[in-house]
């Protein structure tokens, strides 16, 4: 479920790479321009079929969470593996310094922060809430104590969309950020429960 990032060519889709099902976008939500041309609108796919294009990125986190909850419910009576790749927190690089676009800033609206920082905080809060919903669903189905959950990131913090990773000490003592080969770019958080 979620961002696949390997493209929409049939041989590279999750269902051709060992997954039984798929719901998500087949390439990155930051692929705005390639060789001076815009990428096609982001398609939302189920299995190998486009079900919606363009997709409203503001709804993806909620929809991914719903798909994950439904997958867990459908597979609760047997061992399962669920790979869930949220697209947030992520900048919209075409929006430049408004790049942490979210439907609203929620509890951060009145903070005396720049918009990219408010957007980052709102995205992390939204993702945290949805992960909490998934964990609560596991508990409701009496699966929480028999399920291993890995939470990690695909890279270090970024500075896209004018976001300043030092604002929230996103990298702690590490040097570097996304796309750097310093520790801060390649070492990522990992929580296992």
> What does the DSSP assignment read for 124-167?
HHHHHHHHHHHHHHHHHTT-GGG---EEE-SSS---GGG--TTT
Query: Which residues face 37 on adjacent strands?
Result: 34
Beta strands in the chain (DSSP E): 23-24, 33-34, 37-38, 44-46, 49-52, 150-152, 190-192
Return the pLDDT at 38.
Answer: 53
Return the pLDDT at 19.
Answer: 97
Return the pLDDT at 138.
Answer: 98
Return the pLDDT at 90.
Answer: 82
Q: Which residues contact 130 (CB under 8 A, 6 or more apart)?
A: 61, 62, 64, 65, 86
- Bigger pLDDT: 192 vs 97: 192
Residues 28 and 88: their CA atoms lie apart, in Å, by: 11
Q: What is the mean pLDDT of the chain?
A: 89
Residues 49 and 59: their CA atoms lie apart, in Å, by: 19
Structure tokens belonging to residue 60: 């993806």
> Is the backbone peptide bond immediately before 54 cis, with ω within 30 degrees of 0?
yes
Structure tokens belonging to residue 105: 């800033």
Query: In degrees, to the nearest 5, what angle opens at C-alpha 59 toward C-alphas 55 and 65?
Result: 115
What confidence tens digit (pLDDT) does each residue in 141-185 have? 999 999 999 999 988 898 888 888 888 898 889 999 998 999 998
Structure tokens belonging to residue 126: 């939204």
Please give the average per-residue pLDDT across 22-30, as a whole number. Answer: 83
Return the pLDDT at 33.
Answer: 41
What confidence tens digit (pLDDT) does each residue in 95-106 have? 778 767 788 999
What confidence tens digit (pLDDT) does each residue in 42-72 have? 889 999 999 998 888 788 999 999 999 999 9
Indicate whether 35 pLDDT > 50: no
Q: How confident is the model at residue 36 (pLDDT cuts 50, 70, 90)?
A: very low
């Amino acid at each position: 479920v979620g961002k696949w990032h390997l493209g929409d060519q049939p041989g590279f889709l999750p269902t051709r790479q060992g997954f039984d099902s798929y719901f998500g976008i087949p390439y990155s939500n930051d692929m705005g321009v390639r060789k001076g041309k815009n990428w096609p609108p982001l398609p939302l796919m189920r299995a190998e079929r486009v079900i919606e294009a363009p997709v409203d990125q503001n709804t993806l986190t909620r929809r991914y969470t719903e798909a994950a909850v439904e997958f867990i419910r459908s597979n609760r009576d047997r061992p399962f593996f669920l790979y869930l790749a949220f697209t947030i927190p992520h900048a919209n690089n075409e929006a430049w310094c408004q790049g942490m676009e979210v439907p609203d800033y929620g509890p951060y609206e009145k903070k005396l922060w720049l918009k990219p920082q408010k957007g980052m905080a709102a995205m992390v809060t939204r993702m945290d809430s949805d992960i909490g919903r998934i964990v609560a669903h596991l508990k409701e189905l009496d699966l929480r104590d028999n399920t291993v959950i890995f939470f990690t990131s695909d890279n270090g913090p970024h500075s896209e969309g004018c976001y300043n990773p030092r604002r929230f000490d996103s990298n702690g003592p590490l040097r570097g950020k996304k796309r750097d080969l310093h520790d801060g770019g390649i070492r990522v958080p990992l929580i296992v429960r």
